[in-house]
Amino acid sequence: MYWTLELASRLEDAPWPATKDELIDFAVRSGAPMEVIENLNEIEDEQEVFESIEDIWPDYPTKEDFFFNEDEY
């Protein structure tokens, strides 16, 4: 299983919290690339409820990871 920013961003609008099956259903309905569906299929715990993309990909960059200072604009 590998995640990239582009692949993980396809799950930003998912109905969180969600189970593995709900995320796969969302990915299929939203037209996500097959790599997203394959990555979700590789998750082992079928019954776990994920609160956000960070539960699936802990390295997912957050807004704080970018050095953009909104106060300057």
Number of domains composing the chain: 1
Residue stretches of the chain with pLDDT short of 70: 62-73
Is residue 37 domain-resident?
A: yes
**CA angle centred on 57, ends 32 and 10, rounded to 5°:** 20
Query: Is there a domain that residue 55 lies in?
Result: no
The reply to whether 64 falls in a domain is no
* Percentage of residues of the chain with pLDDT beyond 70: 84
In this prediction, residue 62 carries a pLDDT of: 67
Whether residue 4 lies inside any domain: the answer is no
Domain annotation covers residue 2: no
Residue 18 domain-assigned? yes
Domain limits at 40? 14-47
Q: Does 42 fall in a domain?
A: yes
pTM for the full model? 0.80
Per-residue pLDDT, 63: 59
Residue 1: HSE in the Cβ half-sphere, 13 Å Cα cutoff: 12
